[in-house]
Structure formats: C-alpha cells, structure tokens
Structure 1
Amino acid sequence: MRNIKLFCAAGMSTSMLVERMKAAAADQGYEVEIAAYAVSESSKLGGDADFILLGPQVRFEVDRIKALFPDKPVEAIDAVMYGTMNGVGVINHVREVLGD
C-alpha cells in the first residue's frame, strides 16, 4: 500500500482533491492511503510518505521539503489538475512517478 501526503496552506483546500484521488484509486484497484495536511506539518508528517504533493498555493515550499526528504518524490500539483480537481489525473501521475 502506498502512502501519499498532500500539503497545502491550511490542509483544508485539498480535501476535495483527496476524495477524488481516493475514488480514482479505488476504481483502479490501487491500494493507497491519501491524506491532506497543512504545509507547516510537513516536516513531522512527511517521513512515512511514498510521495509528497504540495498544493499550487504553496509550491514555493518544494525545495525546502525536498531538502527534508531527499529520498522521496516531492512535487507541486499541476495547477490545472488542482483547479479542476482531477483526481484521476493526479493518481495516474503518482502511479507513473512511482512506477506502479
């Protein structure tokens, strides 16, 4: 089972995207745990993630979080996918990057 952590400004704006990602993963039979948190929690909560995604509004934090977790993929979510709440697109991207 994969563990994906999303971080945004307050941990709330990604809630809808998380639900759509979970639905897409379930439709694909992809076992994954997905949760959203405030970016201020990233140093405490990112350690057990397989993939760390940041909301576009906090993309300026990518380099800092990459430095904290150099062994993990860390990316900002594509602004169009985020804006359209494209859970399928984000899950497909995660799977591609992780080789799943």
Structure 2
Amino acid sequence: MEKINILLVCNAGMSTSLLIEKIKQAAEGKGMVADVDARPVDDIASNVEGRNVVLLGPQVRFKLRQVKEIVEDKIPVDVIDMSAYGTMNGEKVLQQAITLVSK
C-alpha cells in the first residue's frame, strides 16, 4: 500500500482539520494511506522530518518563501489551490501533493 506523508501549514492548525479527514478519505479511495498533519507556520522547522510534501493553506501563502528556506529544497512545498481549499476538496489536494512528490 502506497503511503504519503503531508504537512499542512496554516495560521493555527484549526481550519485544516476537516481537510485532513477529506484527504485521508480520498487516499483510502485510491488504496493509499495519507499521514496528514496540520501545524501553524511557526512550528514548521520542527515538523518537516519524514514528510514527503508541505502544503500551505491559501491564507498563509505569503509565507511560501520562508517555508521553502526552512525545508532547504529537500521536499516540495506549494500553496494549496484556493478553490480546493475553500471547498475542502480532499481529492484535489491529495492529487496536488502526489503530483508535487512525483516531480
């Protein structure tokens, strides 16, 4: 079974809890396991170990450069598609993560 480890970055880690569940459900539908964790921007440095990808919530997209510096190009980092985030589309966010990891 394929596994992906995703770190979601947001303001306080609250708004992404529903999205985490949607991503996990989408992964199950694909026969995958998604280990998804949400952390505030300030906690990234101590939470990137073992992650395949870091996705930022649209509300913290201004932190993209800072997050890229923290992960030092060791893992892909991107901002979650705004419409996917707004509609809590776990399938689309999971696909974004898979695409980034595959590059």
Alignment TM class, shorter chain as reference: over 0.9
Report the equivalent of 1:89: 92
Q: What is the TM-score normalised by the length of structure 2? A: 0.90
Q: Which residue identity is paired with 1:20?
A: K
- Give me the whole-angstrom Cα distance separating, in 2, the residues matched to 1:93 and 1:58: 17
Unmatched tracts of structure 1, length 5 or more = none
Q: Distance in 1 between matches of 2:52 and 2:8?
A: 11
Root-mean-square deviation (CA, aligned residues, Å) is 1.4
Q: Flag the structure with higher helix content.
A: 1
* Cα distance in 1, alignment partners of residues 77 and 96 from structure 2: 12
Which residue is 1:73 aligned to? 76
The 1-side partners of 2:99 and 2:7 are apart by 16
Q: Counterpart amino acid of 2:38?
A: A
- Aligned residue in 2 for 1:26: 28
Q: Which runs of 5+ in 2 are unaligned?
A: none
Q: 1:49: which partner in 2?
A: 51
Question: What is the distance in 2 between the residues matched to 1:22 and 1:85?
Answer: 12
What amino acid maps onto 2:11 in structure 1? A
**Percent identical residues:** 38
- 2:18 equivalent to 1:16: yes
Hey, which bits of structure 1, 4+ residues long, moved more than 6 A? Answer: none
Distance between the aligned counterparts of 2:34 and 2:90, measured in 1?
13
Which TM-score applies when normalising by structure 1? 0.93
Corresponding residue number in structure 2 for 1:98: 101
How many residue pairs were aligned? 100
The 2-side partners of 1:71 and 1:47 are apart by 10
2:5–2:36 CA contact under 8 A, matched in 1: yes
